[in-house]
Amino acid sequence: MEKITNRTQKAKNVPKTAGKPQKRPMGRPPEPVPQKHQDAICEWIATGKTLRQWCRENDIHYSTVYVWLDKDKEFFQRFTRAREIGADCIADEIIEIVDTEAEIAESWSNTGGSKHRDGAHITWLKNRAEQRLKLLAKWFPQKYGDKIDMNHGVQPDNPLAALFEQVTGTRFKVKAGDE
């Protein structure tokens, strides 16, 4: 029988980490995302409410939810869809805010009372609607952002189109329907 020396054994068959203690990952082991929290978060977000508000009410730090989203792809997909639905809820809320009638304020003077619309309340409603619209435009620009027409130079009577043709020797193609 052939004796295997330590050198032969290391060189041929044994991985370099054999005999060394394995390093364990730092921190607590990841916990699975509780299904009840997944459902509650997605339902909450789909109504247009904020994640931070849900976290405050349920005594969970919001960064924990983001860790869960990183670890669970199915939860991430459900959360993303809930965000899209929540954006539509916020858009509906904007319409409700804009359609809200301003409060009627009464002011009294020496000559008697008069009723008028409260300007401060109107400004408050306007700011609420504008801020929500700005957030939607940033979060979902493809749906709620400003539409930019990049075909302004394609119009047949546009002087820029004539200048472009003169300089480059090529002509813009006119959009169907603009002819």
- Tell me the C-alpha distance between 65 and 53, whole Å: 12
167 is in which domain, residue-wise?
149-179
The interaxial angle of helices 35-46 and 62-71, nearest 10 deg, is 110
> 136 in a domain, yes or no?
yes
- Tell me the C-alpha distance between 124 and 97, whole Å: 10
Mean pLDDT of 89-106: 83
- Asked whether residue 142 falls in the same domain as residue 177, the answer is no
In tens, the pLDDT along 118-134 reads 788 888 889 999 999 99
- Asked whether residue 137 falls in the same domain as residue 153, the answer is no
| pLDDT (0 to 100) of residue 32 | 73
- Asked whether residue 163 falls in the same domain as residue 82, the answer is no
- Tell me the C-alpha distance between 94 and 129, whole Å: 5
Q: Inform me whether the pLDDT recorded for 150 exceeds 70.
A: no
- Asked whether residue 89 falls in the same domain as residue 44, the answer is yes
- What CATH number is given to the structural domain containing 61? 1.10.10.60
Count of structural domains, the chain: 2
Mean pLDDT of 97-124: 72
- Tell me the C-alpha distance between 83 and 49, whole Å: 9
> 28 in a domain, yes or no?
no
Percent of the chain beyond pLDDT 70?
A: 61
In tens, the pLDDT along 27-37 reads 665 567 789 99
> 60 in a domain, yes or no?
yes
Q: What is the 3-state secondary structure (H, E, C) of 34-81?
A: CHHHHHHHHHHHHCCCCHHHHHHHHCCCHHHHHHHHHHCHHHHHHHHH
Using an 8 Å Cβ cutoff, are 97 and 129 in contact?
Answer: yes
| pLDDT (0 to 100) of residue 153 | 47
- Tell me the C-alpha distance between 175 and 152, whole Å: 10
| 79, two tokens | 């959360």
Q: 166, 125, 21: which is closest to 133 by C-alpha?
A: 125
- Asked whether residue 134 falls in the same domain as residue 157, the answer is no
